[in-house]
Amino acid sequence: MKKKNVIFILVLGLVMSIFIYPKVANAKKLEVEDMIRKNAANGVMFDVALANPLLEKSTDKIIFKAWLTTHSGNLLDEINSGKLVIKINNGKEEQKVIRDNIEWRWDRKSSHHPKAYIMLKKMDDKGHSLITDATESIQLIIKNVRNVPTRKFTWDDKVALQSLIVD
């Protein structure tokens, strides 16, 4: 009888690990290229990555990294936090549209090839996580750069979204 119980526990453990392990293992397999979304219009190219899945340590912020390229004009004067919107689609539950408390921080101030970080706290003012298990996607919108009304960057990969849930 004890032998059957031990075998049952081992099999149960194996089955559970099959369902739990991929979530953890896949998070480490994500590459920068998996997280980059691109937009090019009116002489400005944006490469934006959702950075959280690539970080070694957890953080209390949702972090995007943006690489910009142009061959005319100065991008440093055209972009600021006021041009950013983040939409979080929590399925049937709700869609959150965030316009405030989004930080744009220049990492490299180059008029033609700047880099920046875009950050937002993972928790709202009431202490609730913006991203939950129900979250289906997160979208960064950059408005009105070089006469392009909106540039949209969307992430809907479950492994990436899991990295945004508050521990």
Same domain flag for 71 and 4? no
Percent of the chain with pLDDT over 70: 81
What is the predicted pLDDT for the residue at 86?
A: 97
Number of domains in the chain: 2
What is the predicted pLDDT for the residue at 56?
A: 85
Q: Domain residues for 15? A: 1-30
pLDDT (tens digit, 9 = 90+) per residue, 18-71?
554 444 444 446 788 889 999 999 999 999 999 998 888 889 999 999 999 999
pTM of the model: 0.80
Q: What are the DSSP E strand ranges found in the chain?
A: 36-41, 44-50, 61-70, 84-89, 95-98, 103-108, 115-121, 137-145, 148-155
- Is residue 167 situated within a structural domain? no
* CATH number for 133: 2.60.40
Single-letter amino acid code for the residue at 135: T
What is the predicted pLDDT for the residue at 22?
A: 42
Residue 157 CA to residue 29 CA, distance in Å, equals: 13
